[in-house]
Protein backbone atom coordinates (compact mmCIF):
# COMPACT_ATOMS: atom_id res chain seq x y z
CA UNK A 1 0.00 0.00 0.00
CA UNK A 2 1.15 3.54 -0.74
CA UNK A 3 2.46 5.85 1.94
CA UNK A 4 1.84 9.56 2.27
CA UNK A 5 5.09 11.40 2.98
CA UNK A 6 4.01 14.71 4.45
CA UNK A 7 6.57 17.51 4.01
CA UNK A 8 6.57 20.60 6.19
CA UNK A 9 9.84 22.33 7.07
CA UNK A 10 11.95 19.57 5.53
CA UNK A 11 11.90 20.50 1.85
CA UNK A 12 14.89 18.46 0.72
CA UNK A 13 15.92 14.98 -0.38
CA UNK A 14 19.33 14.77 1.29
CA UNK A 15 19.82 14.18 5.03
CA UNK A 16 16.18 13.27 5.37
CA UNK A 17 15.68 10.31 7.71
CA UNK A 18 11.92 10.07 7.07
CA UNK A 19 12.26 10.05 3.30
CA UNK A 20 15.16 7.62 3.36
CA UNK A 21 13.19 5.22 5.55
CA UNK A 22 10.04 5.61 3.44
CA UNK A 23 11.92 5.00 0.18
CA UNK A 24 13.59 1.94 1.68
CA UNK A 25 10.19 0.28 2.18
CA UNK A 26 9.81 0.09 -1.61
CA UNK A 27 6.18 1.21 -1.23
CA UNK A 28 4.74 3.86 -3.56
CA UNK A 29 5.27 7.30 -2.01
CA UNK A 30 2.85 10.20 -2.30
CA UNK A 31 4.65 13.44 -1.37
CA UNK A 32 2.23 15.99 0.08
CA UNK A 33 2.46 19.57 1.29
CA UNK A 34 -0.45 21.13 3.16
CA UNK A 35 -0.92 24.89 3.53
CA UNK A 36 -2.45 24.99 6.98
CA UNK A 37 -2.20 27.64 9.70
CA UNK A 38 1.49 26.92 10.20
CA UNK A 39 2.00 28.22 6.67
CA UNK A 40 -0.75 30.78 6.12
CA UNK A 41 -0.58 32.48 9.53
CA UNK A 42 3.09 33.42 9.60
CA UNK A 43 4.80 36.73 8.84
CA UNK A 44 4.64 38.24 5.37
CA UNK A 45 8.25 37.66 4.32
CA UNK A 46 8.50 34.17 5.76
CA UNK A 47 5.25 33.17 4.07
CA UNK A 48 6.46 34.47 0.72
CA UNK A 49 9.79 32.68 1.15
CA UNK A 50 8.00 29.48 2.18
CA UNK A 51 6.20 29.63 -1.17
CA UNK A 52 9.53 29.88 -2.98
CA UNK A 53 10.82 26.88 -1.05
CA UNK A 54 7.73 24.82 -1.89
CA UNK A 55 7.97 25.73 -5.58
CA UNK A 56 11.62 24.79 -5.74
CA UNK A 57 11.05 21.49 -3.94
CA UNK A 58 8.11 20.62 -6.20
CA UNK A 59 10.35 21.18 -9.23
CA UNK A 60 13.03 19.01 -7.68
CA UNK A 61 10.58 16.18 -7.12
CA UNK A 62 9.35 16.54 -10.69
CA UNK A 63 12.94 16.19 -11.93
CA UNK A 64 13.15 12.98 -9.97
CA UNK A 65 10.06 11.56 -11.64
CA UNK A 66 7.58 12.20 -8.89
CA UNK A 67 5.36 15.06 -7.67
CA UNK A 68 4.43 17.21 -4.72
CA UNK A 69 0.68 17.19 -4.10
CA UNK A 70 -0.51 20.52 -2.72
CA UNK A 71 -3.60 20.92 -0.58
CA UNK A 72 -4.96 23.72 1.56
CA UNK A 73 -6.80 23.48 4.87
CA UNK A 74 -6.50 22.04 8.36
CA UNK A 75 -4.01 19.19 8.14
CA UNK A 76 -6.04 16.43 9.80
CA UNK A 77 -9.11 16.53 7.53
CA UNK A 78 -6.88 17.02 4.49
CA UNK A 79 -4.82 13.95 5.37
CA UNK A 80 -7.93 11.86 6.04
CA UNK A 81 -9.28 12.89 2.67
CA UNK A 82 -6.02 11.98 0.96
CA UNK A 83 -5.83 8.62 2.71
CA UNK A 84 -9.33 7.93 1.49
CA UNK A 85 -8.64 9.08 -2.08
CA UNK A 86 -5.35 7.21 -2.49
CA UNK A 87 -5.86 4.09 -0.42
CA UNK A 88 -2.57 4.88 1.35
CA UNK A 89 -1.83 3.00 4.55
CA UNK A 90 -0.52 5.90 6.58
CA UNK A 91 1.35 9.16 6.91
CA UNK A 92 4.99 9.78 7.83
CA UNK A 93 6.58 13.12 8.66
CA UNK A 94 9.58 14.90 10.20
CA UNK A 95 8.98 16.23 13.72
CA UNK A 96 8.71 19.93 14.55
CA UNK A 97 8.89 21.27 18.09
CA UNK A 98 6.86 24.47 18.27
CA UNK A 99 3.66 24.18 20.33
CA UNK A 100 1.32 24.66 17.35
CA UNK A 101 2.95 21.87 15.34
CA UNK A 102 3.20 19.57 18.35
CA UNK A 103 -0.49 19.91 19.21
CA UNK A 104 -1.48 19.41 15.59
CA UNK A 105 0.80 16.43 15.09
CA UNK A 106 -0.21 14.63 18.25
CA UNK A 107 -3.89 14.98 17.38
CA UNK A 108 -3.13 13.62 13.91
CA UNK A 109 -1.14 10.73 15.33
CA UNK A 110 -3.91 9.77 17.75
CA UNK A 111 -6.67 10.05 15.17
CA UNK A 112 -4.84 8.14 12.46
CA UNK A 113 -3.89 5.37 14.85
CA UNK A 114 -7.44 5.11 16.11
CA UNK A 115 -8.49 4.53 12.50
CA UNK A 116 -5.78 1.89 12.01
CA UNK A 117 -3.56 4.01 9.81
CA UNK A 118 0.17 4.24 10.34
CA UNK A 119 1.37 7.56 11.74
CA UNK A 120 5.13 7.82 12.17
CA UNK A 121 7.34 10.77 12.92
CA UNK A 122 11.08 11.10 12.43
CA UNK A 123 13.98 13.32 13.52
CA UNK A 124 15.89 15.57 11.13
CA UNK A 125 14.90 19.17 11.86
CA UNK A 126 17.57 19.57 14.52
CA UNK A 127 20.98 18.06 15.28
CA UNK A 128 19.58 16.03 18.17
CA UNK A 129 16.09 15.55 19.52
CA UNK A 130 15.28 18.16 22.18
CA UNK A 131 14.78 15.46 24.83
CA UNK A 132 18.00 13.61 24.05
CA UNK A 133 20.20 16.04 25.94
CA UNK A 134 19.67 16.44 29.66
CA UNK A 135 21.61 17.46 32.72
CA UNK A 136 22.96 14.86 35.12
CA UNK A 137 19.85 15.41 37.21
CA UNK A 138 17.73 14.57 34.17
CA UNK A 139 16.52 18.13 33.63
CA UNK A 140 16.57 20.24 30.48
CA UNK A 141 19.47 22.61 30.05
CA UNK A 142 18.89 26.31 30.66
CA UNK A 143 22.45 27.42 30.02
CA UNK A 144 24.04 27.18 26.61
CA UNK A 145 27.69 26.19 27.27
CA UNK A 146 27.00 22.96 29.16
CA UNK A 147 24.27 22.20 26.61
CA UNK A 148 26.82 22.48 23.82
CA UNK A 149 29.34 20.31 25.67
CA UNK A 150 26.71 17.63 26.23
CA UNK A 151 25.62 17.76 22.59
CA UNK A 152 29.15 17.59 21.28
CA UNK A 153 29.94 14.71 23.59
CA UNK A 154 26.84 12.79 22.64
CA UNK A 155 27.61 13.35 18.95
CA UNK A 156 25.36 14.06 16.01
CA UNK A 157 24.03 11.26 13.81
CA UNK A 158 25.54 11.08 10.32
CA UNK A 159 23.35 12.53 7.59
CA UNK A 160 21.80 10.02 5.22
CA UNK A 161 22.02 10.31 1.44
CA UNK A 162 19.07 11.20 -0.79
CA UNK A 163 17.17 8.05 -1.83
CA UNK A 164 17.79 6.84 -5.38
CA UNK A 165 14.19 5.96 -6.08
CA UNK A 166 11.22 7.94 -4.87
CA UNK A 167 8.76 5.22 -5.94
CA UNK A 168 5.96 7.26 -7.52
CA UNK A 169 2.48 5.73 -7.28
CA UNK A 170 0.50 4.59 -10.36
CA UNK A 171 -2.36 6.95 -9.61
CA UNK A 172 -2.05 10.52 -8.37
CA UNK A 173 -4.57 12.45 -6.31
CA UNK A 174 -5.35 15.96 -7.52
CA UNK A 175 -3.12 18.82 -6.55
CA UNK A 176 -3.88 22.49 -6.08
CA UNK A 177 -1.80 25.10 -7.85
CA UNK A 178 0.88 26.86 -5.76
CA UNK A 179 0.20 30.16 -7.55
CA UNK A 180 -3.40 30.07 -6.28
CA UNK A 181 -2.13 30.07 -2.70
CA UNK A 182 -0.64 33.51 -3.29
CA UNK A 183 1.72 33.14 -0.36
CA UNK A 184 3.39 36.42 -1.30
CA UNK A 185 0.15 38.38 -1.00
CA UNK A 186 1.16 40.16 2.19
CA UNK A 187 4.55 41.23 0.80
CA UNK A 188 3.34 44.72 0.04
CA UNK A 189 6.97 45.78 0.15
CA UNK A 190 7.57 44.00 -3.13
CA UNK A 191 8.79 40.44 -3.08
CA UNK A 192 10.92 41.21 -6.13
CA UNK A 193 13.27 43.30 -3.99
CA UNK A 194 13.74 40.66 -1.30
CA UNK A 195 13.94 38.01 -4.03
CA UNK A 196 17.23 39.54 -5.24
CA UNK A 197 18.79 38.38 -1.98
CA UNK A 198 17.08 35.06 -1.36
CA UNK A 199 18.97 31.87 -2.12
CA UNK A 200 16.27 29.28 -2.66
CA UNK A 201 16.17 25.50 -2.78
CA UNK A 202 18.16 22.46 -1.85
CA UNK A 203 20.82 22.69 -4.53
CA UNK A 204 21.47 26.38 -3.88
CA UNK A 205 21.64 25.73 -0.15
CA UNK A 206 24.20 22.98 -0.63
CA UNK A 207 26.28 25.27 -2.84
CA UNK A 208 26.04 27.96 -0.20
CA UNK A 209 27.42 25.56 2.40
CA UNK A 210 30.24 24.52 0.08
CA UNK A 211 31.15 28.11 -0.73
CA UNK A 212 31.22 28.96 2.95
CA UNK A 213 33.40 25.98 3.82
CA UNK A 214 35.71 26.72 0.90
CA UNK A 215 36.81 30.02 2.37
CA UNK A 216 34.91 32.19 4.86
CA UNK A 217 34.86 29.48 7.54
CA UNK A 218 38.60 29.90 8.04
CA UNK A 219 38.14 33.43 9.39
CA UNK A 220 34.66 32.86 10.79
CA UNK A 221 35.65 33.21 14.42
CA UNK A 222 37.34 36.57 13.89
CA UNK A 223 35.10 38.04 11.21
CA UNK A 224 31.58 36.87 12.03
CA UNK A 225 30.78 40.02 13.99
CA UNK A 226 31.53 42.43 11.16
CA UNK A 227 28.33 42.96 9.18
CA UNK A 228 30.02 44.33 6.05
CA UNK A 229 32.18 41.24 5.67
CA UNK A 230 30.92 38.18 3.79
CA UNK A 231 31.97 36.12 6.79
CA UNK A 232 28.86 34.15 7.74
CA UNK A 233 27.10 31.29 6.00
CA UNK A 234 23.61 32.75 5.47
CA UNK A 235 22.26 29.23 5.99
CA UNK A 236 19.56 30.20 8.49
CA UNK A 237 17.35 31.01 5.51
CA UNK A 238 17.67 27.46 4.19
CA UNK A 239 17.65 25.66 7.52
CA UNK A 240 14.32 27.13 8.49
CA UNK A 241 12.50 25.54 5.52
CA UNK A 242 14.66 22.45 5.69
CA UNK A 243 16.29 23.10 2.31
CA UNK A 244 19.41 21.76 3.97
CA UNK A 245 19.67 19.42 6.93
CA UNK A 246 21.49 20.53 10.07
CA UNK A 247 23.31 17.21 10.36
CA UNK A 248 24.74 17.66 6.87
CA UNK A 249 25.94 21.13 7.88
CA UNK A 250 27.40 19.92 11.16
CA UNK A 251 29.36 17.06 9.66
CA UNK A 252 30.60 19.10 6.71
CA UNK A 253 31.86 21.72 9.16
CA UNK A 254 33.44 19.06 11.35
CA UNK A 255 35.94 18.38 8.60
CA UNK A 256 37.26 21.85 9.41
CA UNK A 257 38.95 21.10 12.65
CA UNK A 258 40.39 24.62 12.87
CA UNK A 259 38.90 27.28 15.09
CA UNK A 260 36.56 28.48 12.31
CA UNK A 261 34.84 25.11 11.86
CA UNK A 262 34.56 24.54 15.59
CA UNK A 263 33.14 27.97 16.23
CA UNK A 264 30.68 27.55 13.38
CA UNK A 265 29.38 24.31 14.88
CA UNK A 266 28.97 26.13 18.18
CA UNK A 267 26.77 28.69 16.48
CA UNK A 268 24.79 26.01 14.72
CA UNK A 269 24.17 24.40 18.09
CA UNK A 270 22.52 27.65 19.29
CA UNK A 271 19.71 26.76 16.91
CA UNK A 272 19.35 23.41 18.66
CA UNK A 273 19.51 25.11 22.04
CA UNK A 274 16.62 27.36 20.98
CA UNK A 275 14.60 24.29 19.98
CA UNK A 276 15.55 22.54 23.21
CA UNK A 277 14.25 25.54 25.20
CA UNK A 278 11.09 25.87 23.10
CA UNK A 279 10.32 22.16 23.50
CA UNK A 280 10.75 22.12 27.27
CA UNK A 281 9.49 25.64 27.96
CA UNK A 282 7.04 26.57 25.21
CA UNK A 283 6.19 29.77 27.08
CA UNK A 284 9.49 31.04 25.65
CA UNK A 285 7.49 32.15 22.60
CA UNK A 286 4.86 34.05 24.52
CA UNK A 287 5.91 35.42 27.85
CA UNK A 288 8.90 36.43 29.95
CA UNK A 289 10.82 33.25 30.59
CA UNK A 290 11.82 34.68 33.97
CA UNK A 291 8.51 35.49 35.57
CA UNK A 292 9.96 38.28 37.71
CA UNK A 293 10.19 40.23 34.47
CA UNK A 294 6.39 40.45 34.35
CA UNK A 295 6.74 43.45 36.66
CA UNK A 296 9.11 45.28 34.34
CA UNK A 297 7.62 48.58 33.16
CA UNK A 298 7.83 47.72 29.46
CA UNK A 299 6.17 50.17 27.13
CA UNK A 300 3.69 48.57 24.78
CA UNK A 301 3.63 49.63 21.15
CA UNK A 302 4.36 53.33 20.78
CA UNK A 303 5.45 56.02 18.31
CA UNK A 304 9.13 55.51 19.03
CA UNK A 305 8.77 51.83 18.22
CA UNK A 306 7.13 52.79 14.94
CA UNK A 307 10.15 54.96 14.07
CA UNK A 308 12.33 52.00 14.99
CA UNK A 309 10.35 49.72 12.66
CA UNK A 310 10.74 52.28 9.88
CA UNK A 311 14.51 52.48 10.29
CA UNK A 312 14.23 56.18 11.11
CA UNK A 313 15.60 56.38 14.65
CA UNK A 314 18.53 58.59 13.60
CA UNK A 315 20.89 55.97 15.02
CA UNK A 316 22.72 54.78 11.90
CA UNK A 317 23.78 51.30 13.02
CA UNK A 318 20.23 50.58 14.21
CA UNK A 319 18.56 52.00 11.12
CA UNK A 320 20.96 50.18 8.81
CA UNK A 321 19.97 46.87 10.44
CA UNK A 322 16.25 47.53 10.20
CA UNK A 323 16.56 48.62 6.59
CA UNK A 324 18.74 45.63 5.78
CA UNK A 325 15.98 43.39 7.12
CA UNK A 326 13.31 45.14 5.10
CA UNK A 327 15.23 44.95 1.84
CA UNK A 328 16.96 41.57 2.14
CA UNK A 329 14.76 39.64 4.57
CA UNK A 330 17.68 38.99 6.89
CA UNK A 331 19.84 40.94 9.30
CA UNK A 332 23.35 40.31 10.49
CA UNK A 333 23.45 38.67 13.93
CA UNK A 334 25.55 41.40 15.56
CA UNK A 335 23.10 44.03 14.33
CA UNK A 336 20.09 41.95 15.45
CA UNK A 337 21.48 42.19 18.96
CA UNK A 338 22.06 45.92 18.70
CA UNK A 339 18.63 46.79 17.27
CA UNK A 340 16.94 44.53 19.83
CA UNK A 341 18.87 46.14 22.65
CA UNK A 342 17.98 49.61 21.38
CA UNK A 343 14.26 48.81 21.31
CA UNK A 344 14.08 47.02 24.65
CA UNK A 345 16.50 49.27 26.52
CA UNK A 346 16.86 52.75 25.04
CA UNK A 347 13.17 52.71 24.10
CA UNK A 348 12.11 50.42 27.03
CA UNK A 349 9.65 48.77 24.66
CA UNK A 350 8.48 45.20 25.19
CA UNK A 351 10.58 42.60 23.40
CA UNK A 352 7.43 41.06 21.95
CA UNK A 353 6.87 44.20 19.83
CA UNK A 354 10.29 43.71 18.27
CA UNK A 355 9.91 39.96 18.01
CA UNK A 356 6.69 40.41 16.04
CA UNK A 357 8.31 42.86 13.64
CA UNK A 358 11.16 40.45 13.03
CA UNK A 359 8.62 37.68 12.45
CA UNK A 360 6.96 39.80 9.78
CA UNK A 361 10.16 40.79 7.98
CA UNK A 362 12.60 37.89 8.24
CA UNK A 363 12.83 35.23 5.56
CA UNK A 364 14.87 33.13 8.01
CA UNK A 365 12.18 33.48 10.68
CA UNK A 366 12.31 30.65 13.15
CA UNK A 367 9.99 30.77 16.17
CA UNK A 368 12.54 29.34 18.59
CA UNK A 369 15.60 31.34 17.53
CA UNK A 370 13.63 34.55 17.26
CA UNK A 371 12.05 34.27 20.70
CA UNK A 372 15.29 33.14 22.31
CA UNK A 373 17.20 35.98 20.63
CA UNK A 374 14.76 38.61 21.86
CA UNK A 375 14.50 37.27 25.38
CA UNK A 376 18.26 36.92 25.53
CA UNK A 377 18.83 40.55 24.61
CA UNK A 378 15.96 41.84 26.75
CA UNK A 379 17.31 40.02 29.81
CA UNK A 380 14.09 38.10 30.45
CA UNK A 381 15.25 34.83 28.93
CA UNK A 382 17.27 31.82 30.00
CA UNK A 383 21.02 32.32 29.98
CA UNK A 384 20.26 35.93 29.03
CA UNK A 385 22.58 38.89 28.83
CA UNK A 386 22.13 40.88 32.03
CA UNK A 387 19.71 43.75 31.52
CA UNK A 388 22.25 46.36 32.56
CA UNK A 389 24.38 45.31 29.59
CA UNK A 390 23.04 48.00 27.27
CA UNK A 391 24.62 47.85 23.84
CA UNK A 392 25.76 51.31 22.80
CA UNK A 393 24.98 51.43 19.06
CA UNK A 394 27.60 54.10 18.46
CA UNK A 395 30.48 52.18 19.99
CA UNK A 396 29.22 48.97 18.41
CA UNK A 397 29.32 50.70 15.03
CA UNK A 398 32.82 52.05 15.66
CA UNK A 399 34.00 48.61 16.58
CA UNK A 400 32.23 46.49 14.00
CA UNK A 401 31.66 48.93 11.13
CA UNK A 402 34.60 51.26 11.39
CA UNK A 403 34.67 52.16 7.72
CA UNK A 404 30.89 52.81 7.67
CA UNK A 405 30.61 50.41 4.77
CA UNK A 406 27.63 48.62 6.27
CA UNK A 407 25.78 51.76 7.34
CA UNK A 408 26.27 53.38 3.95
CA UNK A 409 25.20 50.23 2.16
CA UNK A 410 21.75 50.48 3.68
CA UNK A 411 21.24 54.17 4.44
CA UNK A 412 20.90 56.28 1.31
CA UNK A 413 20.94 59.56 3.21
CA UNK A 414 24.48 58.93 4.44
CA UNK A 415 26.00 58.56 1.04
CA UNK A 416 26.57 60.93 -1.91
CA UNK A 417 26.11 58.08 -4.29
CA UNK A 418 23.82 55.55 -2.63
CA UNK A 419 23.87 51.99 -3.91
CA UNK A 420 21.04 49.74 -4.97
CA UNK A 421 20.21 48.29 -1.57
CA UNK A 422 19.99 51.71 0.07
CA UNK A 423 17.67 52.97 -2.67
CA UNK A 424 15.64 49.77 -2.75
CA UNK A 425 14.56 50.54 0.79
CA UNK A 426 12.62 53.54 -0.41
CA UNK A 427 11.01 51.51 -3.18
CA UNK A 428 10.06 48.77 -0.77
CA UNK A 429 8.46 50.72 2.09
CA UNK A 430 4.73 51.48 2.02
CA UNK A 431 3.84 54.84 0.48
CA UNK A 432 2.00 55.73 3.66
CA UNK A 433 5.37 55.97 5.43
CA UNK A 434 6.17 58.95 3.19
CA UNK A 435 9.92 58.33 3.17
CA UNK A 436 12.16 60.11 0.72
CA UNK A 437 15.68 58.97 -0.13
CA UNK A 438 16.68 62.57 -0.81
CA UNK A 439 15.49 63.91 2.53
CA UNK A 440 18.01 64.58 5.29
CA UNK A 441 18.83 61.71 7.58
CA UNK A 442 16.74 62.13 10.78
CA UNK A 443 18.14 63.55 13.99
CA UNK A 444 18.68 61.08 16.80
CA UNK A 445 15.28 60.45 18.39
CA UNK A 446 16.86 59.98 21.80
CA UNK A 447 20.28 60.81 23.19
CA UNK A 448 22.06 57.53 23.86
CA UNK A 449 22.92 58.48 27.44
CA UNK A 450 19.30 59.37 28.13
CA UNK A 451 18.08 56.08 26.71
CA UNK A 452 20.56 54.18 28.78
CA UNK A 453 19.52 56.01 31.93
CA UNK A 454 15.83 55.34 31.22
CA UNK A 455 16.61 51.66 30.81
CA UNK A 456 18.60 51.44 34.01
CA UNK A 457 15.92 53.33 35.96
CA UNK A 458 13.30 50.89 34.74
CA UNK A 459 15.56 48.05 35.78
CA UNK A 460 16.03 49.56 39.24
CA UNK A 461 12.28 49.76 39.65
CA UNK A 462 12.03 46.08 38.78
CA UNK A 463 14.69 45.18 41.34
CA UNK A 464 12.86 47.18 44.02
CA UNK A 465 9.53 45.57 43.24
Identify residues 213-242 at the interface with ligand FAD (CB under 6 A): 224, 232-236, 239-240
Among 365, 387, 400, 406, binds ligand FAD (CB under 6 A): 365
Identify residues 319-348 at the interface with ligand FAD (CB under 6 A): 333, 336-337, 340
Between 271 and 407, CB nearer to ligand FAD: 271
Give ∠ CA 211-127-106 in degrees, rounded to 5.
130
The runs of H, that is alpha helices, within 215-350 are 220-223, 236-240, 246-254, 259-280, 303-309, 316-328, 333-341
Tell me how far the alpha carbon of residue 108 is from its chain's centroid. 25
Give the chain's largest Cα–Cα span.
70
**Residues contacting ligand FAD: total by CB under 6 A:** 27
Q: Is 270 among the residues that bind ligand FAD (CB under 6 A)? A: yes
Asked if residue 220 belongs to a known ligand binding site, the reply is yes
Least gap, CB of 183 to ligand FAD (angstroms): 18
Between 15 and 364, CB nearer to ligand FAD: 364
Least gap, CB of 204 to ligand FAD (angstroms): 14
**Cα–Cα distance between 356 and 327 in angstroms, integer?**
17
**Cα–Cα distance between 378 and 390 in angstroms, integer?**
9
- R_g of the chain, CA atoms, integer Å: 23
**Cα–Cα distance between 346 and 167 in angstroms, integer?**
57
**Cα–Cα distance between 415 and 437 in angstroms, integer?**
10
Least gap, CB of 181 to ligand FAD (angstroms): 22
Q: Point out which residues pair with 7 in neighbouring strands.
A: 33
Stretch that binds ligand FAD, among 141-149, 266-274, 301-309, 442-450 (CB under 6 A): 266-274
Among 173, 373, 381, 418, binds ligand FAD (CB under 6 A): 373
Residue 203: CB atoms within 10 Å: 14
Asked if residue 264 belongs to a known ligand binding site, the reply is yes
Among 36, 202, 324, 366, binds ligand FAD (CB under 6 A): 366
Least gap, CB of 197 to ligand FAD (angstroms): 12
Spell out the residues 6+ positions from residue 60 whose beta carbon is closer than 8 angstroms to its own: 13, 201, 202, 203
Do the Cβ atoms of 458 and 327 come closer than 8 Å?
no
Asked if residue 364 belongs to a known ligand binding site, the reply is yes
Least gap, CB of 269 to ligand FAD (angstroms): 8
Asked if residue 401 belongs to a known ligand binding site, the reply is no
- Residues engaged in binding ligand FAD (CB under 6 A): 224, 232-236, 239-240, 267-268, 270-271, 274, 333, 336-337, 340, 358, 362, 364-366, 369-370, 373-374, 377
Amino acid sequence: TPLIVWFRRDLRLDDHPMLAAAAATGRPLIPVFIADRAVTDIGAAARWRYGEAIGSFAARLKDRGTRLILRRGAALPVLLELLDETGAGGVWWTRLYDPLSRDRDSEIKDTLKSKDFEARSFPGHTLVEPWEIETKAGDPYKVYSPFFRALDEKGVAQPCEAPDDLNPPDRWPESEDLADWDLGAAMKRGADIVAKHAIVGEEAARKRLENFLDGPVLDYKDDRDFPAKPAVSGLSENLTYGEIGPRRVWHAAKVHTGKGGTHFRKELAWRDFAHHLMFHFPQLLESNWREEWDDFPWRQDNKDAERWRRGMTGEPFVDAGLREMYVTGTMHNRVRMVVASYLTKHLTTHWKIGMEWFADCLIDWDPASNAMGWQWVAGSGPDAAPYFRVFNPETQAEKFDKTEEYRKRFIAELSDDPGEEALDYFKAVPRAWKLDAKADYPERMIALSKGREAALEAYDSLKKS
